[in-house]
Amino acid sequence: MLKPQIISLPKILDKRGNLSFFEHPNQLPFEIARTYWIYDVPGGEVRGSHAFKEQQEFIVALSGSFDVIINNGEKETKFSLNRSYDGLYVPKMYWRRLENFSTNSLALIVSDKHFDADDYIRDFDRFKTLRNEI
């Protein structure tokens, strides 16, 4: 299983403005089933404090910056996202929260699953128990 990691995206530099992209399988390790984005986050707010049983995600700071804190049940790792050509791959069964959003930041998130409330693990102790079973 791949670990959480930053995936650097292609950059097509152009005097008219730069362009980046990702697609499966060249940059993304999964096929996209859903896209959503988080925006207009008030200063100091935290989003997405949970884990997913099955879905994988890829998170890009399209604009501004924020931190993604990843917890594997034992230790936390902080990934600071502030480039529109870097994305964070988050496998299933990692607790993750997004915080420290800059003004006007825009978090783009793609997932390999359609929305399913039953895929969420929202209790950290339960997450740790399930994590120990894999």
Give the residue with the Cβ less far from ligand TYD, 32 or 85: 32
Nearest distance in Å: CB 62, ligand TYD? 16
Residue 50 annotated among the catalytic residues of the structure = yes
State which residue, 49 or 63, has the beta carbon closest to ligand TYD.
Answer: 49
Phi, psi of 63 (to 5 degrees): -145, 145
Residue at 119: amino acid letter: D
DSSP state of 27: T
In the complex, the smallest distance separating the C-beta of residue 50 from ligand TYD, rounded to whole angstroms, is 5
Q: How far is the CB of 46 from ligand TYD (least distance, A)?
A: 8
Q: Count the neighbouring beta carbons within 10 Å of the beta carbon of residue 40.
A: 10
From the list 34, 47, 50, 83, the catalytic residue is 50
Secondary structure string (H, E, C) spanning 54-109? CCCEEEEEEECCEEEEEECCCCEEEEEECCCCEEEEECCCCEEEEECCCCCCEEEE
Judged by the rule CB under 6 A, the positions of this chain that interact with ligand TYD are 34, 36, 47-48, 50, 115
Measured from each CB, the residue nearest to ligand TYD is 47
Give, rounded to a whole angstrom, the gap between the first and last alpha carbons of the chain.
Answer: 11
The residue among 15 and 114 lying less far from ligand TYD, judged by its C-beta, is: 114
> Which residues are marked as active site?
50
